[in-house]
Amino acid sequence: MTTTKTIIPAQATHPGTLIKDELDVIPELNQRKLAKELDVKPSFLNEIIKGKRPVTADIAILLEKTLGISADYWMKFQSQYEIDKARVKQKNIKKIKNIELWSIIKEYVPVLYFKKCGYLKEDIAKDIESIKTIYNVNSIDGLVTSFSKNKYTFYRKSEKLKINEKNMFAWSSLAEYEAKNQNINTFNFDNLNQLCLNLNTIFYENKNTVERVKEVLNQFGVKMLLIEKLEKTPIDGFSFWSDNNPAIALTLRYNRIDNFAFTIMHEIAHIDLHLKKDRNQKFLDLTKKENIDKYEKEADQYAQENLISKICWNDIIENYLPLDDDKIKNIGDKYKINPAILLGRISYEMNYYAMQTTIDKKMN
């Protein structure tokens, strides 16, 4: 069975327009003469022509006799007018409703960001559906409820950061939406140790790093997404469960290999230590100088130890202090660790921030 899409006109056309058209092409006929032939008052006919009165069955029969257009045609014309008028009215009601919904959406959604990223197409009805899909809600009421429910989670780690709640909610919702669109290999927790080893090799070599990291994560069944940041969204990483796979979303706020490597390992830690026990958890990791959250401390330690082993760290403390660039590079070559990653932890834990260095932190 096939269905034909109904085309709704911009406005309904009254059969009175046809009477006017007929009068325009018949020189010897005008409204007054036609009214006389129809045995109606000129004002009555004028109201029909202006669409203020319907063409009734009685008038249709009279028009058939005077203009030679069948009464059936006039009645079908009138009927179609009534149907079109009702549809236009319904369309306008829906349009007004959509405008009202869009005004609510703009309070909770950074619409310019989604337009810039190509998710919105300047069609208000379709854009409303796109927003509902991205935010995984069935209604705009659901969007408001979801926003109110989730906005407070962004302050668990730090109350000092300047955060735009609307933008933060948009970023995390978009990450989860995009993750659903990825189909990758099966994930197995038993393979995480090997994944970390493979990642460290990529970090050490630092060549086409982002692309290679994404490729190896996908091979091991971990989804990876790069989501463009918004204003006041100080996010480093976001880890969550997406269908049958864990997912990691990043902003790449800094083009630094040490920051990138630590963020990746930190999110893998959440997968290994926390999502393994509860796949309903989500970890939105904000930029911070220190973690006070238990889960974040565990993830930091996991990342540190998987990027720089305890053996390597003890070797540094026992045999290489005081440090300089040459020593850090030698240690990096010895343990196959990117020197920028070593420098990052050394600066953080040994207060070497003031050290003059030529070590390149840029991610390639």
Looking at 86, 101, 116, which one is the last position of a domain? 101
> Does 342 lie in the same domain as 293?
no
> Does 67 lie in the same domain as 37?
yes
> Does 321 lie in the same domain as 299?
no
> Does 296 lie in the same domain as 327?
no
- Read off the amino acid at residue 335: Y
Q: Is residue 160 domain-resident?
A: no
Q: How far apart are CA 220 and CA 191, in angstroms?
A: 7
- Three-state secondary structure call for residue 345: helix
> Does 297 lie in the same domain as 322?
no
> Does 315 lie in the same domain as 237?
no
> Does 286 lie in the same domain as 209?
yes
Structure tokens at 105: 């959406």
**154 vs 126, residue with greater confidence:** 126
Q: How far apart are CA 362 and CA 354, in angstroms?
A: 19
**Residue 73 CA, distance from chain mean position:** 51
Q: Is residue 150 domain-resident?
A: no
pTM over cut 0.85: no
The per-residue pLDDT for 8 is 66
- Give me the half-sphere count of Cα atoms (radius 13 Å) on the Cβ side of residue 107: 11
pLDDT in tens, 249-305: 998 878 899 999 999 999 999 999 999 999 999 998 887 655 568 899 999 999 999
Check: CB of residue 275 under 8 Å from CB of residue 240.
yes
> Does 326 lie in the same domain as 269?
no
Q: Write the CB contacts of 153 (distance below 8 Å, at least 6 apart in sequence).
A: 282, 284
> Does 340 lie in the same domain as 285?
no
Structural domain that includes position 90: 16-101
What is the number of domains present in the chain? 3
pLDDT in tens, 68-78: 999 999 999 99
Residue 71's alpha-carbon distances to 62, 228, 232, in angstroms, are 8, 64, 68
The stretches of the chain forming alpha helices (DSSP H) are: 16-25, 31-38, 42-49, 57-67, 71-108, 111-116, 124-134, 140-150, 165-180, 192-205, 209-219, 257-269, 294-307, 310-319, 325-335, 339-350
Largest CA distance in the chain: 116
pLDDT in tens, 309-339: 999 999 999 999 989 999 999 999 999 999 9
